[in-house]
Amino acid sequence: MRKANAQSLVLSLSPPLLEVMIKPGKSITQVYKITNEGDPVVVTAKVGEFTEDGIKIDQEPAPSVSEGFVPEKWISLLNTDISFNRPFILNAKEERQLIVRISPPKETAEKDYYRAIQFSTSPNPPSESSQTSVTENIGSPILITITSSGFMARGAQITQFQLPRIIDSFDALISDIYIKNTGNTFFHPVGKVTLTGPIGRGSFAIVPHVILTGQTKKLLTEDSLSFGDTNSLKLPGFFLGKYKLELDFTLDEGTIRVNQSKNFYAIPWKAGMILIIGVIGVIWVMRILKKRRNR
């Protein structure tokens, strides 16, 4: 009986993201580097559709497919020894370069195309048992804007600004903010969330994650990201009085600005309730003791 050895896969890919603005009829190239720091593997490069749910790739792409995603022919490889959808071997410690050409014809519709280069692996040599097989998918999104004028309508809307009107002074401040891309091209929110009040204030940079056309996405701040929080903003501390939380950002480094603010009040109501209950309890005990003395 042969011993089954676990196969390790450590692949790296650069660039991790490519953003392209190109005129119809023009062409650009981009070099991708994939490196294997693990065991030898069989790798297949494919063009997929990049959505807010991830990368989607048809298992058997064909020109006759009526439903699903069919890769554009104007996204191609210039390599002579590597082609899309054809496996190749990537040995341990080996780096391969793939030259991707993006060349939309003049008649291509002017809009955004969200695509991705994805590399899928299988063991080499193939494992005798599928249960011990190790596979990996690694991809790099390509955000393509095709425009002859260099201009695409941009817009954003704050769909939700979740903030309680009243919080306890000793509770953490939690806020969730959602932004919808109402324009015709993707953008990165560049700005900050600012807190002002009598006790405790600060400014928190927004993480410039890309927001695709039509997508609604929760904003994250650098602070929430560093602490692993899923909220847009989560601030522990002591608050007392009236505060203002303000969101202010631009679409990329442009002139379109989005701004909104909300107020909230911080009151130590939990401590107040405990104090009131304690006072009532003391008064009740004193009355009982007084009745006993009068007997």
Detail the DSSP E strand segments found in 126-197.
Answer: 137-146, 156-162, 166-168, 173-181, 189-196
Which tops the pLDDT comparison, 22 or 4? 22
What are the pLDDT digits (tens) for 120-152?
988 766 555 444 456 788 999 999 999 999 899
pLDDT in the model for residue 161: 97
- DSSP secondary structure letters along 67-123: SS----TTEEE--SS--TT--EEE-TT-EEEEEEEE---TTS-SSEEEEEEEEEEEE
The domains of the chain are located at: 11-146, 156-268
Q: Is the peptide bond before 126 cis (omega within 30 degrees of 0)?
A: no
Q: Which CATH class is domain 11-146?
A: mainly beta
Q: Is the pLDDT of residue 250 over 80?
A: yes
pLDDT in the model for residue 263: 97
Share of the chain above pLDDT 90, in %: 65
Name the burial class of residue 144, with classes exposed (0-12), middle (13-18) and buried (19+) by CB atoms within 10 angstroms of its CB: buried
Indicate the DSSP class of residue 289: H
pLDDT in the model for residue 295: 63
pTM to 2 decimals? 0.81
What's the CA gap between 58 and 49, in Å, rounded? Answer: 9
Q: Is the pLDDT of residue 84 over 50?
A: yes
pLDDT in the model for residue 269: 65
Cβ count near 106 (within 10 Å): 9
Residues whose CB is less than 8 angstroms from the CB of residue 153 and which lie 6 or more positions away in sequence, other chains included: 183, 184, 185
- Summarize the confidence of residues 250-265 as an average pLDDT: 95
What are the pLDDT digits (tens) for 154-205?
999 999 999 999 999 999 999 999 999 999 999 999 999 999 999 878 999 9
Give yes or no for a contact between 4 and 86, defined as CB atoms under 8 angstroms apart: no
- Summarize the confidence of residues 199-224 as an average pLDDT: 93
* Domains 11-146 and 156-268 fall in the same CATH topology: yes
Give the best-scoring range by mean pLDDT among 124-138, 226-240, 254-268.
254-268
Domain 156-268: which CATH number of 1.10.10.10, 3.10.129.10, 2.60.120.10, 2.60.40.10: 2.60.40.10
pLDDT in the model for residue 104: 97
Structure tokens at 274: 């405990």
Q: Is the pLDDT of residue 87 over 50?
A: yes
pLDDT in the model for residue 184: 96
Which tops the pLDDT comparison, 4 or 137? 137
